[in-house]
Amino acid sequence: MCGIIGIFDFSDQSRMRVRALDMASTIRHRGPDWSGIYADEHAILAHERLSIVDVEHGAQPLVDSGTGNVLCVNGEIYNHEALRAKLKKPHSWKTKSDCEIILYLYDEYGPKCVEMLSGIFAFILYDKKRGSYFVARDHMGVEPLYMGWDKEGAVHIASEMKALDQYCDEFKEFQPGHYYDSRQKELIRWYDRRWMHAVPRGRASPKRLRYELESAVRRQMMSDVPYGVLISGGLDSSIIAAIAAKYSRRRVETKDKEEAWWPRLHSFSVGLENSPDAKFAKKVAEHIGTVHHELIFTLQEGLDAIRDVIYHLETFDTTTVRAATPMYLMARKIKSMGIKMVLSGEGSDEVFGGYLYFHMAPDAKEFHEELVRKLSMLSKYDCLRANKATAAFGLETRVPFLDKEFLDYVMGIDPEQKMCKGSKMEKGILREAFQGLLPEEIVWRQKEQFSDGVGYGWIDTLKKHAEEHITDEMMAVAATRFPVSTPNSKEQYYYRLIFDELFKSRAAAATVPVGPSIACSTPTAIRWSKEFAGMADPSGRAVANVHLDGLKKKNT
């Protein structure tokens, strides 16, 4: 987790260098460990570093002494050691950083180097000899990236929108799974899979599924600093934590080159007093043997943090703000303990159909197409939340369920095997694959959205708070007040007011998707159920005939 800045196609180097430094200062929370900058008459690259791998020598921007190319990276390249074997000629290595490999892969393979990377990343590479630049983002958009243009046409690249807001008249999200080569002057999609265009027919194997996910977790445990795991007490985070605990112990016991920095794995959970998640998280921690830390926050502490959360997340989406606030509070506590990286269960619901509304999918084809829609929007929702809520305090979140190699396997499974028809429990194939690793009550616990699981009083309080600040008259003219990305509820209207106070450019609001959503569905999936008609709450409890504590009781 770092912060990157790039400015190109400008005329005044001295002025743009000052601008780059100012932009970098707005995202220093992402990389509080060191700052670096490169500048010449054609390019300026700035970097705010969070040191995870090669803490002593991995400062950026990195420069290839052979070609003069310059690189800034935000992210982690898990297969960097294996990729060294792909190099055809010797290179003058400056660090043991996982990111330096990108310089030499680009030198030998050009833009195709992006497809070779296994990891989460957003990077800017200045090709000094050609006078061009190359920008790329990981397959799912786990790491954020934005691109903008000022009145003079200078191109600006930044990890977060706030760095562009005061300088660019136009900016937008840099699309996940794409790269931009300034010589071609177009965005090219590099991550393209068959499952994105057709319904897969692969057969699921519990043994293979378990192997692929364990491999993903083990890859993502790459770290030279203390790391931890997030446990909500639900299935997904519990599986990731249990796998991490298994391999963390092995790394200590074998005393090999992968020896863990800390001999004990620490876990973290967050919630209101007596929240649904808290007791289950504690049971998981006791079962897998982690040193567990539970953060209890109050409703007032949550309300007080809303403005800061919206500033860091750069969104006014209702579900995202609801879920990010407890995560934001927890991240500060985690970082205070000296931990720089955590593993999380994000992404499981998008690949297995874990949201409760998936019970209503009419057939396997629509089930799969909704998975693809959900995955394509993760960079605007769950990935945005997981990344920016923790990056606010210089903490990196990794997401093994969205590992590129794991996705290649799991998204190739016939969706018929993922479906949860009738009373069948969602994510059945995942639960079956990890039978025995966790207590049965965890393996078969029903889905809770994070904003529900931290305590139902949290959402109810947010709704009440919005009702006190936003009138019916204000909602009646919402489309006039906010013609771009018009808020569709009082709660979202309240968040939008704060957002517009923080971000002045009209381009800012356009980066936030707005549309009807029930229980985190896409607008398309709302037509699956007549029950959704007239409803407007994204809480999982909106699925009344599936959720045990539905907002509406069964048969009413």
What would the two tokens of residue 448 be?
């809770």
Q: Give the residues across from 453 on adjacent strands.
A: none
Burial class, 15, CB count within 10 angstroms (exposed 0-12 / middle 13-18 / buried 19+):
exposed
CA distance 324 to 454: 11
Sign, CA dihedral 484-452-216-121, equals: positive
Query: In b/e form, how buried is each residue of 233-259, taking b as 16+ CB within 10 angstroms?
Result: bbbbbbbbbbbbbbbbbebbeeeeeee
Query: What is the maximum span of the chain, computed from C-alpha positions, in angstroms?
Result: 72
Give φ, ψ of 270 to 5 degrees.
Answer: -140, 145
> In one letter, which amino acid is 347?
G
Give φ, ψ of 381 to 5 degrees.
Answer: -130, -95
DSSP per-residue codes, 309-349: HHHHHT---HHHHHHHHHHHHHHHHHHHTT--EEE--TTHH
Q: Look at residues 158, 194, 252 and name the one whose alpha carbon lies nearest to residue 412.
A: 194
CA distance 393 to 93: 31
Give the strand pairing for 227-230 and 266-271: parallel
Helix (H, G, I), strand (E, B) or coil at 452: helix
Half-sphere CA count of 378, side-chain side, radius 13 A: 26
Alpha-carbon Rg of the chain, whole angstroms?
Answer: 23
Give, as one character, the DSSP assignment of residue 180: E
Q: Look at residues 11, 312, 383, 1 and name the one whose alpha carbon lies nearest to residue 163.
A: 312
H helices of 337-439, in order, are 348-352, 364-376, 382-391, 404-410, 428-433
Is residue 383 flagged as an active site residue? no
> In one letter, which amino acid is 502?
L
Sorted by sequence, the CB contacts under 8 Å of residue 331 that are 6+ apart come out as 389, 390, 392, 393, 395
Alpha carbon 124 to its chain's center: 19
The active-site residue, picked from 2, 99, 113, 520, is 2
Q: Which residues are catalytic?
A: 2
